[in-house]
């Protein structure tokens, strides 16, 4: 019995190695980027890359770029883009970098968060329904 164990040890080690890589690769392939809600945006996240999904509720075209506002059930946020703006009422998912614009006024801070759009993501099945 001891002899047969030694014969199969190299094969078992290879199977462990292959199965470990299989588990790691399959977990990476199936991962979707983590979307956050608008209310989860906080000062700790300034400069971070996030994924948001929402409905376009306002458009503001400028000379070199466009701003549009999206909302989800938790709030609204402005997005700055140099790409073509989405349509009003369109559901959209985006990858963006969180920024903050300070606006001090009469001893109060009236600033707000916004996103710099890095990429508009392809629509999901729930967005097209």
pLDDT (tens digit per residue) in 65-117:
999 999 999 999 999 999 988 999 999 999 999 999 888 888 888 888 999 99
Task: For residues 18 and 42, state if they share a domain.
Answer: no
Q: Round to whole Å and give the CA distance between 54 and 68.
A: 11
Task: For residues 27 and 50, state if they share a domain.
Answer: no
**Contact by Cβ (8 Å): 117, 81:** yes
What pLDDT shows up at residue 47? 93
What pLDDT shows up at residue 24? 53
Q: Which residues span the domain enclosing 87?
A: 38-128
Q: Round to whole Å and give the CA distance between 37 and 21.
A: 33
Task: For residues 49 and 77, state if they share a domain.
Answer: yes
Task: For residues 100 and 80, state if they share a domain.
Answer: yes
Question: pLDDT digits over 1-50, tens only?
Answer: 455 555 656 665 665 666 655 555 555 555 566 788 999 988 888 999 99
Task: For residues 66 and 5, state if they share a domain.
Answer: no
Task: For residues 49 and 109, state if they share a domain.
Answer: yes
What pLDDT shows up at residue 103? 83
110 sits in which H/E element: none
Give the domain CATH number at 123: 2.40.50.140
Task: For residues 24 and 46, state if they share a domain.
Answer: no
Q: What is residue 18's three-state secondary structure?
A: helix
Mean pLDDT on 54-64: 92
Q: Round to whole Å and give the CA distance between 115 and 94.
A: 10
Task: For residues 25 and 75, state if they share a domain.
Answer: no
Task: For residues 17 and 44, state if they share a domain.
Answer: no
Residues 6+ apart with CB under 8 A from 22: none
What pLDDT shows up at residue 108? 84
Task: For residues 72 and 54, state if they share a domain.
Answer: yes
Task: For residues 77 and 44, state if they share a domain.
Answer: yes
117 sits in which H/E element: strand 112-121
Task: For residues 13 and 73, state if they share a domain.
Answer: no
> What is the domain count for the chain?
2
User: What is residue 33's DSSP assignment?
Assistant: P
Q: Round to whole Å and give the CA distance between 54 and 73.
A: 8
What residue ranges in 6-90 does DSSP mark as E strands?
49-61, 66-72, 75-81
């Amino acid at each position: 019995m001891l002899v047969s164990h030694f014969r199969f040890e190299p094969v078992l080690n290879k199977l462990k190695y292959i199965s470990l890589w299989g588990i790691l690769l399959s977990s990476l392939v199936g991962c979707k980027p983590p979307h956050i809600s608008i209310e989860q945006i906080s000062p700790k996240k300034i400069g971070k890359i996030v994924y948001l999904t929402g409905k376009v509720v306002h458009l503001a075209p400028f000379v070199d770029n466009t701003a549009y506002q999206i909302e989800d059930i938790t709030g609204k946020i402005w997005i700055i883009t140099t790409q073509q703006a989405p349509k009003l009422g369109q559901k959209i998912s985006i990858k963006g970098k969180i920024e903050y614009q300070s606006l001090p006024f009469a001893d109060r801070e009236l600033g707000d968060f916004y996103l710099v759009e890095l990429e508009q993501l392809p629509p999901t099945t729930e967005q097209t329904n």
